[in-house]
C-alpha cells in the first residue's frame, strides 16, 4: 500500500505522527467506452456551450449555478481564503460509546500507520482506546474537505472512518410509517423464529461477488475464443398462500440448510481449509504460543 496523506493525531498535548492509507478498494470489472465497429476508444472534448470552442484545462474554473441560471465563477484565490485547516492534524474532540454512532454516518475507511518516532504513543493510545471499548470522535481535513470521523482499533491498528455531516443524511419520510399496520402475535413469533434459525457468526470469507465472477468468466471466454457458458436459470418458487405460511416454510428451509452445513462441517467437507493455516502462519510469525480465542478477539474491536 502507498500512503496518501501524512499528518498527526492530536490528543491533548500528545502528537502522534501518522501516515494514512485507503483501507478498502473496489474490485469492479472496469470498462471503456469504445466504437463497436473497430474497438477504438471514445474520447470527449471540453467544449464551451457559448462559443463552441474547445477549452484547455488552464482556462477551466469552478462555477456555481444560481436558481436564475446565472453562474458564479470561483477562482483559486476564493478557495485559498476559506477556513479549511491546513495543519494536517487529526484532532481528537471526545470519546463516545461505539453504539452511539449510527453506521449510516460512515463514508470511507482509512488505516493509520505511525511514523518511527510515533510508535510508542500510538501503541499507548491504541491500547487505552481498545480497553475502554469506546471510539474517538475526531475532525480532519482531507482532499479539500473538512470531515468529522471516528477513530477505532481493528487488527492492532487505528482505523479512521470519515463521516457524513448530519444535514447530509436524509430523513426516511415514507407514507407507510403513518399507517396503523396490524401484526398478529403468531406472525411476530414465527418471524422471530426465522431470525433465530438463521443466526450465526459473520465470516465475510463465506460470501463472494457471483456477478463479478460470472462477468470475468465471460471476458476470459471471449479472450480464449470459447463459447460462453450460461448459468442454469433458477426455477420459480410457488407463491405462499399467506404471510404466516411463508414464514413457516422459511423457518423449515433455514433449519434444513443449517443441518446440511453442520453435516458437512462434521465430516470435514465444505469446511474452509484456509483458516487453520492462516492462524498457524500468524502464530509462527509472532513466535508465540497460540492464544486462546478470548485474547485473539481483542484485536477485532
Nearest-angstrom CA–CA distance, 66 and 142: 27
User: When comparing pLDDT for 125 and 258, which is higher?
Assistant: 125
Compute the chain's Rg from CA coordinates: 27
Other beta carbons within 10 Å of 152:
19
Cβ contacts of 193 within 8 Å, gap of 6 or more: 247, 251
Mean pLDDT of the chain: 82
pLDDT tens for each residue of 208-252:
888 888 888 888 888 888 766 666 666 666 655 677 787 778 888
Predicted local distance difference test score (pLDDT) of residue 13: 86
Interatomic CA distance for residues 94 and 174, integer angstroms: 34
pLDDT, one tens digit per residue, over 96-129 is 999 999 999 999 999 999 998 899 999 999 999 9
Which pLDDT band, with edges at 50, 70 and 90, does 289 fall under?
very low
Q: What is the pLDDT of residue 235?
A: 60
> Nearest CA to 156 among 10, 281, 298?
298
Cβ contacts of residue 190 below 8 Å, gap of 6+? 244, 247, 248, 251
> Among candidates 6, 17, 20, which has minimal Cα distance to 159?
20
Question: Confidence band (pLDDT; 50, 70, 90) for 260?
Answer: low
Q: Report the residue count for the chain.
A: 301
pLDDT at 287: 44
Segment 193-220 mean pLDDT: 86
Average pLDDT over residues 82-101: 85
| Res. 138 pLDDT band, cuts 50 70 90 | very high
> pLDDT at residue 162 above 60?
yes
Please report how the helices 243-267 and 185-197 are oriented relative to each other, as an axis angle in degrees rounded to 10: 20
CA distance 213 to 270: 20
Q: What is the pLDDT of residue 59?
A: 93
Amino acid at each position: 500500500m502507498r500512503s496518501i496523506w501524512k499528518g498527526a493525531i492530536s490528543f491533548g498535548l500528545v502528537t502522534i505522527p501518522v501516515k494514512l492509507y485507503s483501507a478498502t478498494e473496489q474490485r469492479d470489472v472496469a470498462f471503456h467506452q469504445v466504437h463497436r465497429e473497430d474497438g477504438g476508444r471514445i474520447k470527449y472534448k471540453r467544449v464551451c456551450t457559448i462559443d463552441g470552442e474547445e477549452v484547455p484545462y488552464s482556462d477551466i474554473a469552478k462555477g456555481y449555478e444560481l436558481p436564475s441560471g446565472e453562474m458564479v465563477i470561483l477562482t483559486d484565490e476564493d478557495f485559498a481564503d476559506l477556513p479549511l485547516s491546513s495543519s494536517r492534524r487529526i484532532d481528537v474532540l471526545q470519546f463516545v460509546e461505539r453504539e452511539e454512532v449510527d453506521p449510516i454516518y460512515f463514508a470511507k475507511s482509512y488505516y493509520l500507520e505511525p511514523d518511527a518516532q510515533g510508535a510508542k504513543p500510538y501503541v499507548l493510545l491504541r491500547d487505552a482506546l481498545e480497553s475502554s471499548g469506546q471510539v474517538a470522535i475526531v475532525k480532519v481535513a482531507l482532499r479539500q474537505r473538512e470531515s468529522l470521523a471516528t477513530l477505532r482499533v481493528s487488527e492492532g491498528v487505528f482505523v479512521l472512518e470519515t463521516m457524513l455531516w448530519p444535514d447530509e443524511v436524509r430523513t426516511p419520510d415514507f407514507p407507510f410509517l403513518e399507517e396503523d399496520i396490524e401484526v398478529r402475535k403468531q406472525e411476530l413469533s414465527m418471524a422471530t423464529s426465522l431470525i433465530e434459525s438463521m443466526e450465526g457468526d459473520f465470516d465475510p470469507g463465506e460470501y463472494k461477488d457471483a456477478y463479478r465472477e460470472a462477468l470475468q468468466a465471460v471476458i476470459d471466454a471471449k479472450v480464449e475464443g470459447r463459447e460462453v457458458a450460461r448459468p442454469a436459470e433458477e426455477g420459480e418458487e410457488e407463491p405462499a398462500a399467506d404471510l404466516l405460511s411463508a414464514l413457516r416454510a422459511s423457518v423449515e428451509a433455514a433449519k434444513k440448510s443449517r443441518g446440511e452445513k453442520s453435516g458437512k462441517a462434521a465430516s470435514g467437507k465444505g469446511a474452509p481449509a484456509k483458516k487453520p493455516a492462516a492462524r498457524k502462519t500468524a502464530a509462527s510469525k509472532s513466535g508465540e504460543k497460540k492464544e486462546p480465542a478470548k485474547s485473539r478477539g481483542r484485536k477485532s474491536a
